[in-house]
Structure formats: structure tokens, C-alpha cells
């Protein structure tokens, strides 16, 4: 891992970093950016920004938006498909997730953690729910709220989990959101003993979640399977049953994963 404690990070702004940073400017509310905005954000001359933009357009990571500006290009979708395949999770997990979704008639999610963020890698939905729990592939979730995030933290070394939680900005989403690191750490210990997590209204007031860990051939936790349901539809007495089912599904996926990996 790290050679010494002092990680002398190089000046974070190389040419490549800046080009990549452009891709990070896009958000749900900012689907189109202009060259001038890019120059400003990057702190470079306009001509320089356009040079980057050209590289990105040439490789189709960006395309010109109708009516001016730039938006994300189809290349992004191409490599996203490959990214999904890279993890080796989806092919194996999706059938089991679909079965679970149909069984409990709720949305089932497969998530992975990257740094301080949890990303939805796959989703299975029950046929015709009146209310939609709308997490898509690529949606990001916070570290401190949601059943899946807690599971993904529970099985890494405590010191790592603490460091992550301390460096992340723990936003409050609802009155029930946990933002205190010590409280969260206790919660993780509890989850580790139980083997699953249950949350209620910590991320979205009306939603509850139940999650369990997926392990690879080395028994490392590499993902989480979770059920996301309208909180009012699931009485506390029913939680145990859901937990059993998610754990069962997670175990099934883990087994197939080790079978493939070995």
C-alpha cells in the first residue's frame, strides 16, 4: 500500500486532470455547459478550454448540444456498459435480484462504494407498483444514510470507516438522518453482528431499506443488495422477514460469484 505516511500529492492540476474535470462539471441540474463556463471553472483562458473541449468532442465523450454548449456524448454510455461488465456483478446478480423483487414486490438495488460515495450498479423492479422508488443505474447515494451504505461500511476496518465518515460531509436529509460519526460507528458494529441493516426514513422520509452484503471469492464485501420500500407499506414486524430474504439473495449471489471467480 502506502510506502510512507507522507503522500506528497502532486500538483492536482495537470493537463489531463483539467480535461477530466470538465466531465465532472455535469450534474443533474447542469446537463449542458458552455466553453466560457468551462474556462472560468478551470481557471484557464478560453482558448485553452476550447482545446480541451475539442479533444473531448473528438473522442465523443462530449457532443455539441443543439442551441450551443456541450453535453455528454454517447461514448460515455458505451464505456458505462463495459464498466458494468467489469465488476462481474450484474450478470450474476440480476436474476437473483429480479426473483427477490418479484417475491417482495418492491424495488431491489445492487450498490457498490467508491470512496465517499455509494453508486447504484443495478436495479430490479417489481412489475406495477403504484409508487416508484426511482434509483437508476449510476445514481449516487450518501455514505451516512440508507441501508446499503451502512452495509458497505460495516465490513471494512473500523478505522477506515471512521476516516471516511469524518472526511465526508454528512448531510442531514431528514430528521432521522444520522450525522454523528460515533453514533454511526456503533450502528456499524450492530450491523456487523446482525449481518444486515435496516433503515427507516434516514435518506428519504417515506422510504425504508433493508440491505445485506455480497462477498467475493476472498470473502471481501464488494457490494450490497438492498430492498427499498415505501415505509408505510412495511410494518416493523415484517422487517425480519425482509432481512431474511435479502440475506438469502445476497448469499446466493456471493456463492455464484465465488463459483465464477474460482
Residues in touch with a copy of itself (CB under 8 A): 10, 12, 14-21, 23-24, 26-28, 31-32, 51-52, 54-56, 58-61, 63, 65-66, 71-87, 112, 114-115, 117, 119, 121, 136-140, 216, 218
CB atoms within 10 A of CB 58: 9
**Judged by CB under 7 A, which of 26, 50, 155, 173 binds DNA?**
50
Q: DSSP letter at 155?
A: T
Q: How many residues bind DNA (CB under 7 A)?
A: 27
Q: Is 34 in the site for DNA (CB under 7 A)?
A: yes
Q: Is 35 in the site for DNA (CB under 7 A)?
A: yes
Alpha helices per DSSP H over the chain: 15-24, 35-42, 46-58, 74-86, 90-104, 147-154, 158-167, 181-194, 239-261
**Judged by CB under 7 A, which of 26, 37, 84, 174 binds DNA?**
37
Check if the beta carbon of residue 213 is closer than 8 Å to that of residue 151.
Answer: yes
Q: How far is CA 178 from CA 53, 58, 65, 152, 155, in A?
A: 41, 45, 40, 16, 19
Check if the beta carbon of residue 173 is closer than 8 Å to that of residue 179.
Answer: no
Cβ closest to DNA, residue 38 vs residue 92 = 38
Judged by beta carbon distances under 5 to 8 A according to partner kind, the member of a copy of itself, DNA, none in contact with residue 237 is none
CB neighbour list of residue 98: distance below 8 Å, 6 or more residues apart: 108, 124
Q: How far is the CB of 41 from DNA (least distance, A)?
A: 12
Q: Which stretch binds DNA (CB under 7 A): 12-20, 115-123, 142-150, 189-197?
A: 12-20
Q: Is 220 in the site for DNA (CB under 7 A)?
A: no
**Judged by CB under 7 A, which of 27, 29, 47, 58 binds DNA?**
47
Cβ closest to a copy of itself, residue 153 vs residue 208 = 153
**Cα 245–chain centre separation:** 22
Q: Distance between CA atoms of 163 and 186, rounded to whole angstroms?
A: 15
Binding mask 62-81 for DNA (x = CB under 7 A): --x---xxx-----------
Q: How far is the CB of 254 from DNA (least distance, A)?
A: 22
* 30 backbone φψ class: left, alpha, beta (φ>0; ψ -120 to 50): beta
Judged by beta carbon distances under 5 to 8 A according to partner kind, the member of a copy of itself, DNA, none in contact with residue 94 is none
Q: How far is the CB of 136 from a copy of itself (least distance, A)?
A: 6
Judged by beta carbon distances under 5 to 8 A according to partner kind, the member of DNA, a copy of itself, none in contact with residue 130 is none
Query: Phi/psi of residue 135, each to 5°?
Result: -95, 130
Q: How far is the CB of 50 from DNA (least distance, A)?
A: 4
CA-based nearest residue to 227, from 133, 127, 144: 133
Q: Give the residues lining the site for DNA (CB under 7 A).
A: 3, 7-8, 11, 14-16, 18, 34-37, 43-48, 50-54, 64, 68-70
Amino acid at each position: 500500500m502506502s510506502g510512507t505516511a507522507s503522500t506528497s500529492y502532486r500538483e492536482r492540476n495537470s493537463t489531463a486532470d483539467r480535461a477530466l474535470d470538465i466531465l465532472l462539471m455535469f450534474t443533474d441540474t447542469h446537463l449542458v455547459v458552455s466553453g466560457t463556463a468551462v474556462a472560468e471553472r478551470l481557471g484557464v483562458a478560453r482558448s485553452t478550454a476550447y482545446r480541451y473541449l475539442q479533444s473531448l468532442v473528438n473522442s465523443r465523450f462530449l457532443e455539441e448540444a443543439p442551441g450551443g454548449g456541450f453535453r455528454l456524448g454517447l461514448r460515455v454510455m458505451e464505456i458505462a456498459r463495459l464498466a458494468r461488465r467489469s465488476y462481474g456483478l450484474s450478470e450474476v446478480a440480476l436474476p437473483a435480484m429480479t426473483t427477490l423483487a418479484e417475491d417482495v414486490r418492491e424495488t431491489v438495488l445492487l450498490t457498490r462504494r467508491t470512496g465517499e460515495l455509494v453508486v447504484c450498479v443495478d436495479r430490479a423492479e417489481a412489475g406495477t407498483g403504484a409508487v416508484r422508488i426511482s434509483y437508476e443505474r449510476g445514481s449516487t447515494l450518501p455514505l451516512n444514510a440508507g441501508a446499503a451504505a451502512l452495509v458497505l461500511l460495516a465490513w471494512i476496518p473500523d478505522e477506515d470507516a471512521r476516516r471516511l465518515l469524518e472526511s465526508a460531509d454528512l448531510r442531514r436529509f431528514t430528521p432521522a438522518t444520522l450525522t454523528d460519526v460515533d453514533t454511526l460507528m456503533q450502528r456499524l458494529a450492530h450491523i456487523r453482528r446482525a449481518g444486515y441493516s435496516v433503515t427507516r426514513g434516514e435518506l428519504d422520509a417515506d422510504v425504508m431499506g433493508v440491505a445485506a452484503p455480497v462477498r467475493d471469492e476472498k470473502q471481501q464485501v464488494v457490494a450490497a443488495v438492498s430492498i427499498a420500500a415505501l415505509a408505510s407499506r412495511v410494518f416493523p414486524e415484517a422487517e425480519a422477514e425482509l432481512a431474511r430474504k435479502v440475506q438469502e439473495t445476497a448469499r446466493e449471489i456471493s456463492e455464484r460469484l465465488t463459483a465464477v471467480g474460482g
